[in-house]
Chains A and B, each alone.
Chain A
C-alpha cells in the first residue's frame, strides 16, 4: 500500500435485513453495496448524495460501528473489519465522529467537562492533571472559554455545542475524523465559523476528514476530493476540479445543477430529474440510476456499470462515459 494512504476501503458491503420478513423470504436493504475508495493522509474527502444513498452508513461502517457483510477497511495497513474487540477499541482512538445534531449528541445530564473527560476515561488515557490540561487547551482552540466547562449543553447555543462536539472528537489525538453533516443544523452565520474552525484544526493537528454532506456548496468549499453516491453505490469520484468542472456522471451533473444560484445575474441551465430516489430495498436493475437518467440507453437497465478510471484519478460508473 502506498505510504500516503490512510484508509483504504475495498469492496465494502453493508446490508441491513429489513424488518417483518420471514426467514424464507429475507429482504436486504443494500445501504452500501460494493464501495471502494481511498482516503489520503491530510486530505478532506467529501461524500455527497441524497438521503438514503448510504453516505452515513458508509461513514459508520468505516469507523467499525457496523459489522460489514463483506469487504475490507484497511486503516494504516491493518484490516479493521476482522479486529477483535480489544484491538478495535485501541483503533477507535485514531478515528472519531462529529455528528450532525449537536444537541442530540451531547449528554444533557453531564457538564461540558464531564463530556470531554469521557473519552480519556473510556480509554484510560492520561493522569487527572494531563486530562485537565488537554481539555483546557482544546476548549481554547475551538473558541470556548474555561467558563463553559461547568455548563450543561442546554445552556449553550447550537454553534457552541457543535464546538464541544469537535473538541470531544479531538481529545485522543485522532488521525481520521468522520464529519457527518457537521454544519447542516447550524445557522448560516455560524456555519461559516465552524467550517473555518475545521479547516484550521486540520492543518494544526494533521487530520484527515471524511466529510459527509448533502450540501454541495459546502463540500465544494472544504474538500480536496469528492465521491458522489447514489443508492449505495459510488457513481463518481475524483478531485474537486474533476467533480465540479469536468462532471461525467449524469446524476452528479444533475446534483450540481440543482444547487440554488446565489448570483442574480447568472441564469444557469438546470437538469431536472424525474421522480424520486427508488427504495434501496428494491433497487432498479442494471444501473441504479437508469429510472431517472436523462441519458438512458437500453444497456443501462440490463448491465450494471463498473467504476472505471476515465481520467487519471477520476472514476465514473456509467455506460455512457468512455
Chain B
C-alpha cells in the first residue's frame, strides 16, 4: 500500500493481518489493515461488531493470544517494530508508552485490589517511583479525572464505585505514566447517557493537557464526530474508508459509510423513514467473493463480485476501497 510515510507518525500499522484457526475454519479477523496515527491527534476507528476494530487495537498492544491467533504485518511505534520486540521489551512499553482504556471497567479492574493500588502499579513498575511518590501521583491523577474526595476513593475497591467512577479510575490508571498513545476501546458504551457526556468531556479536556495521541474505537458515530480529527471506517476486517472527520461525514465515498451515516436516527434531522443497509454483515467463514460489502451495496456492478477492490488514495489524506472510486479516478 502506498501510504506516504510521514516523519511525525507516532504509530504506523502496515499490512496487519490477524487470523484465528478454529474448528470451523480460518477466521480472518483483520485483513491487510494499514493505519497511521500522528502525535497528538485523535483517530477514530468505527465499525460494527465483527469489523475487526478491537482485534486491531489488541494487536497494537501485542495482546492477541497465539495460538489461536496468527498475526503478520508491521506495527511501528517510535521507529521500532513492536512485533519484533521480545515479550519483556513489549511489557516495558505496554501501560507505559501505550495505555488502554477498556469498555467494561468492572471486568478490567482487579476486584481484589484497591483503586489506589491499581493506579500505583504502573508507576512502581515502569517509572521506578517510591511508594510515597506513587501515592502522591495517584492522588493527583484521581483529582485530575474529577473524582471527589480522592483520599477516600484511593482506599476503596472497584465494587464500591459507580460505573462512571470506575471508568474514571481506569482513565487515571491509563494516564499514570503519561503515555504517548492511548487506546480507548468503546470507553463510554457501558455508561449512562449523562455519565457518557461527563467522560467524553473529561477525555476532551485531558487531551489538551496530556498531549498524547488517542485511538478511539467505537460503533457510535456521534462520539466519533465529537472527539476525533480523523476517522477510519472498518467493515468485515478491512479498512473501507479513511479521511479527515469533516470531509468524511460530509461527503462519504464508500457506500457503507454513506449507509451508516444515513441509517442513524438523529434529533437534528426530520422524522423521515430511516435509510437501511439491507442484509447483515457476512459470516467470517463465508466471505463473499470480490468486495466484502458487495451483497449489501446499492451501487454494486459486475466487477464488484468478481474482483476485490484495493484501498486507493483519492487525495493525500483520503483513501477508499471501492470500485466506483477506482472507475471515477480512471476517467479523470
Contact = CB atoms under 8 A, between A and B. Distances in A.
Contacts of B35: none
B187 interface: no
B201 A270 contact: yes
Given A157-B280, A193-B276, A263 B225 contact: yes
B193 interface: yes
Given A188-B48, A192-B275, A273-B198, A220 B265 contact: yes
A221 B280 contact: no
The listed residue with most B CB atoms (<10 A of its CB), out of A222, A266, A272, is: A272
Contacts of A25: none
A262 B46 CA distance: 13
A68 B267 CA distance: 35
Nearest to B161: A276
Given A187-B219, A270-B197, A259 B267 contact: yes
Interface in B263-283: 263-268, 271, 273-278, 280-281
A144 interface: no
Contact of A255 (B165, B194, B220, B226): B194
B158 interface: no
Nearest to A214: B193
B114 interface: no
Contact of A195 (B49, B246, B274): B274
Given A189-B48, A264-B246, A259 B273 contact: no
Given A188-B48, A189-B260, A264-B245, A258 B196 contact: yes
Contacts, number: 121
B263 A260 contact: no
B70 interface: no
B277 to A, nearest CB: 4
Nearest to B220: A260
The listed residue with most B CB atoms (<10 A of its CB), out of A214, A218, A260, is: A260
Contacts of A199: 273
A218 to B, nearest CB: 5
A218 B265 CA distance: 6
A192 B277 contact: yes
Nearest to A263: B268
B267 A50 contact: no
Interface residues of B, number: 44
B78 interface: no
Given A260-B226, A262-B266, A264-B249, A221 B271 contact: yes
Contact of A259 (B48, B198, B222): B222
A270 B200 CA distance: 11
Contacts of B245: 264
A259 B268 CA distance: 11
A281 interface: no
Contacts of B260: 188-189
A261 B219 contact: no
B309 interface: no
Interface residues of A, number: 42
Contacts of A276: 162, 164-165, 195
B90 interface: no
A37 interface: no
A90 interface: no
A159 interface: yes
A191 B265 CA distance: 10
B249 A255 contact: no
Contacts of B268: 261-263, 266
A218 B220 CA distance: 13
A204 interface: no
Interface string B244-261: 011001100000000111
B221 interface: yes
Contacts of B226: 260-261
Contacts of B275: 192
A260 B164 contact: no
B84 interface: no
A222 B271 CA distance: 8
Contact of A272 (B197, B225, B277): B197
Contacts of A266: 268
A157 B198 CA distance: 33
B193 A189 contact: no
B192 interface: yes
A259 to B, nearest CB: 6
Contacts of A218: 265
Contact of A196 (B193, B201, B246, B276): B276
Contact of A264 (B200, B225, B263, B278): B225
29 contacts: A50-B195, A157-B281, A189-B259, A191-B263, A191-B264, A192-B265, A192-B277, A193-B278, A195-B265, A196-B274, A217-B265, A220-B271, A221-B274, A257-B197, A258-B193, A258-B196, A259-B193, A259-B267, A260-B196, A260-B223, A262-B221, A262-B222, A262-B266, A263-B268, A265-B246, A272-B197, A273-B194, A276-B162, A276-B195
Interface of A: 50-51, 157, 159-160, 187-193, 195-196, 199, 214, 216-218, 220-222, 244, 254-266, 270, 272-273, 275-277
